[in-house]
């Protein structure tokens, strides 16, 4: 298993063809004109090369997602101005194709091999194109997890060293984000209270109720069983706020995200009310 920092930026693919450079988002939107600094740097890559990584802007020594977002949502002229004021870095974490005289598709090769080839390709070039740090040592990964929070890194991504490259979500990559855990009272539900899609909780020290993530099927079943045992007064009346209130009596353990994902709430397990 290899551990890498989870950067807070825009996920991009860089394509270097014989004639041009293309930058593409995960939704296949072309954003080459919005990151002219990265496109210029990528011209040094060999033709046929394809990189996967994150466009990141640093401000005051920390990742600055708002600056990346502003760049990605601007027009061509405005993006050029922003690139001069706050240039971007491309932190590459995978090499999908190796260019040169004989272009090779590396997506079926193991991650460890792709990583070695990525380092060989980018290390001589230097910023703004750079490989992400990676380690196979647990103690180093744990230190990164704690220390890199101060520069805006969201957590870690764990990757199986023998894994192939797969776009989208894959069990071969596991994201571990910075978060804290609380016990929270369930005060409402979204959907049917017997099989809720999500729940509304009162977090300690937070004046505003929080809506959790979509519940996995097993948790939805457990919570539905617990909520069904509570009094049913007004449970089927949905107020303008969009969720059904429930009487107090069910408590869950929740995980609350920090960094940019502060406020994202995920139910870990049912604590009381079984």
User: Using an 8 Å Cβ cutoff, are 159 and 119 in contact?
Assistant: no
Residue of 125, 112, 104, 4 lying closest to 50 (CA atoms): 104
Give every CB contact of residue 106 below 8 A, 6+ residues apart in sequence: 95, 96, 97, 98, 113, 114, 117, 165
CATH number of 9-132: 3.30.470.30
Band of pLDDT at residue 240, cut at 50, 70 and 90: very low
Q: Which residue has the higher pLDDT, 18 or 171?
A: 18
Whether the predicted pLDDT of 137 surpasses 60: yes
Nearest to 273 by CA among 245, 248, 244: 248
Q: Is the pLDDT of residue 67 over 60?
A: yes
Q: What is the pLDDT of residues 16-55, one digit of tens each?
A: 999 999 999 988 899 999 999 999 999 999 999 999 999 9
Lowest mean pLDDT among 162-171, 248-257, 264-273: 264-273
Q: How far apart are CA 255 and CA 242, in angstroms?
A: 23
**What is the model's pLDDT at position 182?**
75
Indicate the pTM of the whole model: 0.70
In this predicted structure, what is the pLDDT of residue 274? Answer: 42
For the chain, the structural domain boundaries read 9-132, 179-272
The residues, ordered by sequence, that sit 6+ positions from 15 with a Cβ below 8 Å of its Cβ are: 21, 22, 23, 24, 49, 50
- pLDDT exceeding 90 applies to what percent of the chain? 45
d(CA 209, CA 186) in angstroms, rounded, equals 9
What is the pLDDT at residue 166? 85
The residues, ordered by sequence, that sit 6+ positions from 108 with a Cβ below 8 Å of its Cβ are 164, 165
Q: Does domain 179-272 fall into CATH 3.40.50?
A: no
Residue 128: pLDDT over 50: yes
Catalytic residue positions, numbered: 6
- Alpha carbon distance 37, 51 (integer Å): 16
Report CA 92 to chain centroid distance, whole Å. 15
Range of 81-95, 217-231, 251-265 with top mean pLDDT: 81-95
> Residues 201-238: pLDDT tens digits?
888 777 788 888 888 888 898 888 888 888 765 545 55
Higher pLDDT, 87 or 65: 87
Residue with tokens 């996920």: 11
């Amino acid at each position: 298993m290899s551990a890498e920092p989870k950067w807070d930026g825009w996920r991009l693919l860089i394509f270097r063809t014989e004639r041009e450079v293309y930058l593409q988002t995960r939704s296949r939107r072309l954003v080459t004109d919005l990151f002219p600094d990265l496109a210029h740097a990528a011209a040094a890559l060999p033709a046929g090369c394809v990189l996967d990584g994150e466009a990141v802007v640093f401000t005051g020594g920390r990742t600055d997602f708002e600056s990346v977002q502003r760049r990605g949502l601007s027009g061509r002229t405005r993006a050029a101005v922003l690139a001069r004021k706050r240039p971007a870095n491309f932190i590459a974490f995978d090499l999908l194709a190796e260019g040169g005289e004989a272009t090779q598709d590396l997506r079926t090769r193991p991650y460890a091999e792709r990583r070695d080839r990525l380092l060989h390709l980018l290390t001589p070039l230097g910023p703004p194109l750079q490989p992400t740090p990676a380690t196979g040592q647990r103690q180093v990964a744990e230190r990164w997890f704690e220390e890199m929070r101060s520069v805006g890194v969201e957590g870690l991504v764990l990757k199986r060293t023998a894994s192939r490259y797969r776009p989208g979500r894959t069990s071969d990559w596991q994201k571990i984000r910075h978060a804290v855990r609380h016990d929270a009272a369930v005060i409402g539900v979204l959907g049917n209270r017997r099989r809720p899609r999500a729940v509304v909780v009162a977090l300690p020290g937070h004046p505003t109720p929080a809506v959790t993530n979509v519940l996995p099927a097993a948790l939805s079943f457990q919570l539905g069983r617990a909520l069904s045992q509570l009094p049913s007064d007004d449970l089927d009346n949905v107020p303008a706020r969009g969720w059904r209130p429930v009487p107090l009596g069910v408590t869950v353990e929740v995980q609350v995200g920090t960094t940019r994902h502060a406020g994202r709430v995920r139910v870990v397990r049912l604590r009381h009310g079984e």
